[in-house]
Each structure stands twice: as structure tokens, then as C-alpha cells.
Amino acid sequence: MRREFDSMDDSERLVAQVQRSLASRTPLRIRGGDSKAFLGRAVDGEELDTRGHRGIVSYDPTELVVTARAGTPVAELSALLDDAGQMLPCEPPAFGTAATVGGAVASGLSGPRRPWSGSVRDFVLGCRVITGQGKHLRFGGEVMKNVAGYDMSRLLAGSFGCLGVLTEVSLKVLPKPRERRSLSLELNAAEALRELSAWRRAALPVSGACHVDGTLHVRLEGGTGSVASAVDRIGGAGLDTGFWESLREQRLPFFDDPRALWRLSVPNNTPLEALPGAVLIDWAGAQRWLKSDAPAATIRQIAQSAGGHATCFTPLAASEPFHPLAAPLLRFHRQLKQQLDPHGIFNPGRMYADL
């Protein structure tokens, strides 16, 4: 059964608003459900609301591709895929019911399956975008392989609307795994990372691995045989599969800690030096959530010396949300912004002060 959802092409209004802003040099604050508005720097601009531009443009499960307008709620897209036995493997967090597909791609956040499945940008195949020239253009497409021209659509993933307004995205989707089991084991963090490393070498079908409060939570997905034998090998107690949604949506008790929330993205085998606060390890070690009152510079230094970076998920007056860029890299970011958004109307300052 295919569900019916609201569908409306509101692109003409969006293009007209961008063109007006270009004419009057008025900055725009692009919004979908505003579920990730807390992330990044505040944008002072006229609101451009993508939510009216919504609906599934095309979906053929046997092609493994879905195309949705930017304002389509993520929840609707997920329900549609679920009905067809498919999913967005990168599990973008929604942070509420209002999240839109455009916002999920523009913020580029991925859920617990990311180390094994790939990130949101890995699943982007194509997009339509309103540019800094007020044009409504199309890049990439609905095919798995496409190397014609520069990869504009993947560049836009995670660009927080600073390079243009996404109006439509085509995403690769995959079948849901045939079998799924979740387990929990009482282990300390160092033991947990050692076990995960051994399981990786043994090619166990792990698709989620989170350590918090002395417990390792593991998700196994694959064929019935491989999952059953991995369950036998790992042992531990059964875990409600709802855990992974609570983790993705930051609803676990860990996230109630009143201190600021930091995300450290580091190589998965980064040693566990004492971080200044409470730590939740996700992505089998590659993503570490930190609740801390320590100065931003201290936290950033720790992440950077491990070869990673730190993002502050709690709006703080004392800190930039995103990790500072090396000077040469920042120069090319500015040049890119200048080329694609010469009048600086798209979410100015959302990522960095002068972007």
C-alpha cells in the first residue's frame, strides 16, 4: 500500500523570493522545520520557508532511488520507504517531528549506522538548487553513477544553506536488513573499543555500536544466519531496538546533563584519554559526545590533536559552534562562497562569521 502525502510544487514562490532578495541585497535565513536551528551561528535575515515545497517527486523501489522536494517531512519519507521495505541507511536525526528532507541534507548529520553505511552525503545522488544568480538548476540525477561535471549535489550536503537553497534531492535508498538484533554488554569503554575492533576484523554484521555508562550497546543487521552467529559470539543481554532511535534523537538520559553538549569526530581508534566531562561513545569510537563545562579551546585542542574536530551542539556565547578552519582552507571557503553566493544572501554567517 502506498500512502498518500501532501504534495505541492512551491518552487516558483521560492525562486521569486530569492530573486527579490538578490535585487534588494536582503540576506535570507533559510528554514525547513527549524529542528536544527540551534546548530550553528544565528542568521539575521528574512525567512525563506521551504515547507510549502513538499512531496515525493518520484520513487521506484527497484531503482533504489527516491526524489523528494526539500520541504517534505523526514518522517513522511521514512514512512514511505518503510512501506516498501526500504530505508535511508544513514538514519539522519530529526530532532523533532518537523524535520524536512532539505534540512536533513543541508545539515548533513547522520545517525548510528554511519560508519558502516556511509553518511547523508554518501547517499545524495542529485539535487535542484536555487543559486546566487537566482536560477533554479539541477545537478546530479537519479542514477547511481554519474561523474558528469563537478559534484555540486554532494558539496551542498552539510553546507547549511550557505551556498544555495536546496529545493529537491534524490537519494539512494537500500532494502531494510532481513534480520536485526540488538544486544547490551557490561564493559568499560576500553574493553568495548577492543571488542569492537575484534568484531570488525571478524566481519561481524555490526550496524550500531554505542558505549555509555559502563554498557556497550550493539546492533547487528544482515541475513538471518550471520546475525544469529554474531549473537552467539557476542553474548550479552537483549536490547530494545528503540535504543537506537533514542540515541539518534538524543533522548537518552546522558543528554539530560545540563552541561554543554559537544560532538567530537575523531578516528575510531583514538585512545580514551580523559575527556573533561561525561562521555558517550557512538559510531564504534568515531563519534564521541561530551557533556562538559570545559573551555571550548581545551575541547577543540583534544579533538584536533587526535586528528579530528569538535562541534558545539549547545548555543554558547563563549564559543563558535563549528571547529575553526585552517587559514588556507578558510581562504578557499571564502572564494567558493564568493563565487556561488556573490551577494552573500544565503544564510550568511551560519557556519562561520564571514561565509
Per CB under 8 A, contacts with other proteins among 286-325 are 286-287, 307-309, 311, 322-325
Q: Any contact of residue 159 with other proteins (CB under 8 A)? A: yes
Contact string (CB under 8 A) for other proteins, positions 66-95, x = contact: -------------------x----------
Instruction: Name the DSSP letter for residue 213.
Output: T
Q: List C-alpha distances in Å: 85 to 19, 103, 177.
A: 41, 24, 9
- Our CB check for other proteins shows the closer of 51 and 195 to be 195
Query: CA separation (Å) from 72 to 8, 10, 307?
Result: 10, 12, 36
CA triplet 213, 315, 156: central angle to 5 degrees? 95
Query: At residue 120, what are phi and psi to the nearest 5 degrees?
Result: -55, -45
Which is nearer to other proteins, 98 or 133 (by Cβ)? 133
Q: Which is nearer to other proteins, 98 or 189 (CB)?
A: 189
* C-beta of 40 vs 73, nearer to other proteins: 40
Of residues 3-42, those binding other proteins (CB under 8 A): none
208 lies in the binding site for other proteins (CB under 8 A): no
Q: Which of 266, 275, 279, 296 binds other proteins (CB under 8 A)?
A: 266
What size, in residues, is the chain? 355
Q: How far apart are CA 39 and CA 160, in angstroms?
A: 10
CA pair distance 216, 292, nearest whole angstrom: 22
Q: What DSSP character marks residue 326?
A: P
**Using CB under 8 A, which residues numbered 270 to 289 contact other proteins?**
283, 286-287
Instruction: Tell me how far, at minimum, the Cβ of 256 lies from other proteins, in Å.
Output: 26
Which of 299, 298, 293, 268 lies closest to 281 in space, CA to CA? 268
> Closest distance between other proteins and the C-beta of residue 312, in Å?
12
In the bound complex, what is the minimum distance in angstroms from residue 175's beta carbon to other proteins?
Answer: 3
Q: Cα–chain-centroid distance for residue 317?
A: 24
Between residue 209 and residue 228, which ones bind other proteins under the rule CB under 8 A?
Answer: 222-226, 228
> Taking CB under 8 A as the rule, does residue 61 contact other proteins?
yes
Binders in 102-131 for other proteins, by CB under 8 A: 108, 114-115, 118-119, 121-122, 131
Q: Centre a 10 Å sphere on the Cβ of residue 285 and count the other Cβ atoms it contains.
A: 22
- Smallest Cα–Cα separation from 346: which of 106, 95, 170, 13? 106
Report which DSSP code applies to 331.
H
Exactly one of 10, 91, 142, 168 binds other proteins (CB under 8 A); which one?
142
Tell the smallest beta-carbon distance from residue 99 to other proteins (Å): 19
Decide the pairing of beta strands 124-130 and 165-172.
antiparallel
**Residue at 43: amino acid letter:** V
Cell, residue 207: 550496524
The residue within the footprint of other proteins, chosen from 13, 135, 233, 251 (CB under 8 A), is 135
Q: With contacts defined by CB under 8 A, how many residues of the chain interact with other proteins?
A: 86
Residue selected from 7, 241, 269, 305 as contacting other proteins according to rule CB under 8 A: 269
